[in-house]
Structures are given as C-alpha cells and as structure tokens.
Structure 1
Amino acid sequence: MNAPTVPVLQVHQLTKSVQLEDEVLHILESVELTINPSESVAIVGPSGSGKSTLLSLLAGLDQPSSGSIELMGKPFHDLSEDGRAAARAGTVGFVFQNFQLLPALTALENVMLPLELQGARDAEAKARHFMDEVGLGHRLNHQPGRLSGGEQQRVAIARAFATQPALLFADEPTGNLDSANSQKVEDLLFKLNAEFGTTLVLVTHDRELAKRCQRTLVLDNGTLVEAAHASTGA
C-alpha cells in the first residue's frame, strides 16, 4: 500500500485584514485550500479580489491575520521572515509578470544564481540544461536587455525550474506578452510541470490559461470557491 500523500499546501481558515483610517478592510475571509503534489491550480477573480494577496500569503511573502498554512506538511505561516525564506529555499520557485531578471547578468548567469545560492557544484551545467529546455541554448550570453519579452520570461521559467522546486508560483506569467509568446510560455509551464512533477499554482486574468489547469479556484469578495470545468490538459 502506498504511503499517504502529504499536501504541498494546506490552508485552514486563512484571513487577511488591514486597518484603514476608519475601518477594517477584510481582503480574505476563512479561506480553505488543499493543493496536492503535481497538481496545476489556477486562481482567478476580478481585479481587487485579493488574488495577489493570497499568492503572497501562500508563498510566505506576507503573513495572515489569522489561520494556518502548512508547506510540505509543516507549519509555515507563523515562522519568522528568515524562517519562511529558509523553508522556501529549494522547495518553492517563482515566475513573475515582470520577469525579475538581474539586468547586469547574462541569461545563463541569471539561471545559475539560485543554484549557486544553494551551493550546487554543477550550477553551470544545470543552468545550461534548463536554458536548452526552454529553447534558449543559443542565448546564454545575452543580457536581459538584449532579449525579447517572451525570451526573458522563458529565462525566468528556466531559473524557476533549475532548482527543481516542489512548488512553483506564477503571478500573471503571460500578462506582459503578446498572444504568440503567451502561448509559448503557457506550453512551457505545463510541459515542465508534467516533466518534473512540479506543483503549479498560478494567478491569472486569462480564463483560457486557467482552463489548462486541473483545477480553477475563483476568488471573489475574499472568498475562495472551486469552479467546475473540464481540463484541456497541456
């Protein structure tokens, strides 16, 4: 008999509120969420619904007002900032809408950086492999400013997957790309999600992108509900 699978993320009664001058603004209320290994999950909702706030909480970039978050079966929400950073290291990767590449480094060096921070001895070889995976083995020595937006996002994906994280957060990963590059980036995310078994959690306004995920969660008025749809697959 197989051992029970520990969820990658387990969220219980998660709440986020902020104090304004004359009132308390409730951004998230009593969110319940379980995300299992290798799943692909989209979080959608209208602007201002709290999607980015929820992603920041799940990633440990912010702390909830109340409730709990477990990462890989261990309490995550109540750790110090340094403790959350240590828990993320080697476990969590990120892809952002604005790429977040270091402009002074080459594409290869950008991908090597998280590997070097982990102390990987074969950082360059791994980085080259993942640059090949995203189809940019011929652009290793180009700085981000010499790459198109689509190429920069592919470098960012290579960087995110290079440490082979258990969990990848993607915040509007195609938000700054044209339709052709959006399609390439989407295909790449789901290809690598399947190839490496990485759990993918993405925030998007793009309902077509969301439909490619196994599950879609809709955030509205601070409440998270699961949408019914048939996944189209990668």
Structure 2
Amino acid sequence: MIKVDNLRKQVMVADGELEILRGINLEIKSGQTAAIVGVSGSGKSTLLGLLAGLDVASSGEVWIDGVGLSDLDEDARAALRASKVGFVFQSFQLLPALTALENVMLPLELAGAEDAARRATEFLHRVGLEARLGHYPNLMSGGEQQRVAIARAFAARPALLFADEPTGNLDGATGTKIVELLFDLNRSEGTTLVLVTHDEGLAARCDRVFTMFNGELSEG
C-alpha cells in the first residue's frame, strides 16, 4: 500500500539548509497497522505529510497503492487522497457551522457520493453517536468530536488511513475508547492504518512500530 524510497526533505532556514528527513525507506502492506513514534521535532509529522501527498519531498519517491506521487500535480494528488486516503487529526478538524451529520456528509458529497446521508448516518451510528446527528461541535465533548472525525474518515471507505496523534487532546479513559473504536473499524473495513503517536501503548497495538530520530527512520 505504501512504498518509500530514499525520501529526503530539506527546508531553508536563517542559517542555511535544514535536513528534516534523511533518506527514509519504508514499505507497509495493505491491511497492516503501523505506528511512527519519536520525540517532538524528529520529523514524524513531516513524514506523514509526505506520505499523504500533502507536501512534496526534496528528493526520493512515495508510492501509494502503486501510484508515484512525484508523477502527480497538486490536483491529481488531491484526487488520489479523495479516492484512497482518510485522515484523523489531534485537533478534530470539524467545521463548527455544520452538525455532526453534515461534517461527515460533506467530503462524501464533494466526492459525488449519491448516498452521502445514508453512509454518514451509518458510520455515526457505528461510533455510538446516533443521538448526536444534529448537534454542532461546540455542543459535543472532545471524545465525541473525535468520534465524528473517525466516522468522517471511515465513511469514505479509504484504503489508507493516517492518524496524527488521534488521542493527543483526550483524557486517558476517553483516549482508550477512541483507540478501541479506531482499531475495531480498521479491522472491519480492512483499511491500512498509519499512526503518529507519543502513546507507547497505542503504538504497541500496531503490527509494526517505526521510530523517527534525527530525521532517520528505523523499525522497532
């Protein structure tokens, strides 16, 4: 599902060129779960952005389901994400002016799904929010908002799901429930799951664990 060959990322700073990623190589098979761990500033979120096609590498290549991202322009990368990739973020990324149902429906409607309302309702039921369909984000707890975000991600039935610190803004008990939900849906949908996390317990539940340190990636 994911293949990475000698991926590098440099940015210009006041002192010159800063190398954030140094020759990353990685393969993740379809259906696997993988965690990327490491200290803040080690390059985890930068790597995730490159894997998802949200940013462009300085050199090297990323393939998603056999498609090389460097061969695609920005519009084509966006189309690939819309058809194959889902996201769950630490900050939920819900639109405050839309209800839970509307937040889940929106990306489905943008993708042209004719059954957006049915699929959004189904996945909100599956995350236990059947009583919250008409509620706005400011009326929901952090855990409920993250459930909406997870429903939104899985409703599109992505082949690949990226989660960036999905429990980072939640208390321990709520975070545990969100983790169970994430893995339950991952198993039932057969999605490839890639997590960036500081939570060692969450990482240990994945099939594979990768560590970022000083811009380099190692397994284990």
For the aligned pair, the TM-score class normalised by the smaller chain equals: over 0.9
Q: 1:46 corresponds to which residue?
A: 39
Q: How does 1:194-209 map to 2 (within 5 A)?
A: 194-209=187-202
> Which one of the candidate residues 46, 52, 74 is aligned to 1:81?
74
Between the aligned partners of 1:176 and 1:144, the Cα distance in structure 2 is 15
Q: How does 1:132-143 map to 2 (within 5 A)?
A: 132-143=125-136
Q: 2:184 corresponds to which residue?
A: 191
Between the aligned partners of 1:137 and 1:189, the Cα distance in structure 2 is 17
Whether 1:125 aligns to 2:105 is no
Between the aligned partners of 2:154 and 2:165, the Cα distance in structure 1 is 17
Whether 1:32 aligns to 2:22 is no
Q: Which has the higher contact order (CA 8 A, sep 6+)?
A: 2
Between the aligned partners of 2:35 and 2:15, the Cα distance in structure 1 is 34
* Contact map agreement 1:111 1:159 (CA 8 A) in 2: yes
Q: How does 1:168-179 map to 2 (within 5 A)?
A: 168-179=161-172
Structure 2 gap segments, 5+ residues each = none
Q: How does 1:1-234 map to 2 (within 5 A)?
A: 8-227=1-220
Q: 1:3 corresponds to which residue?
A: none
Residue aligned with 1:89, SS: helix
Stretches (4+) displaced over 4 A: none
Between the aligned partners of 1:114 and 1:197, the Cα distance in structure 2 is 20
Percent identity, please.
Answer: 61
Q: Which residue type is aligned with residue 151 of structure 1?
A: E
Aligned-pair Cα RMSD in Å: 0.8
Structure (1/2) with the larger helix percentage: 2
Shift of 1:21: 2.4
Shift of 1:74: 1.1
Residue aligned with 2:83, SS: coil
Deviations 1:210-232 (A, max 9, x none): 001110000001110000xxxxx
| Length-normalised TM-score, structure 1 | 0.92
Between the aligned partners of 1:225 and 1:131, the Cα distance in structure 2 is 37
The worse-fitting range, judged by mean Cα deviation, of 130-139 and 77-86 is 77-86
| Length-normalised TM-score, structure 2 | 0.98
Q: 1:230 corresponds to which residue?
A: none
Aligned length: 220
Deviations 1:190-219 (A, max 9, x none): 001100000000100111110011100000
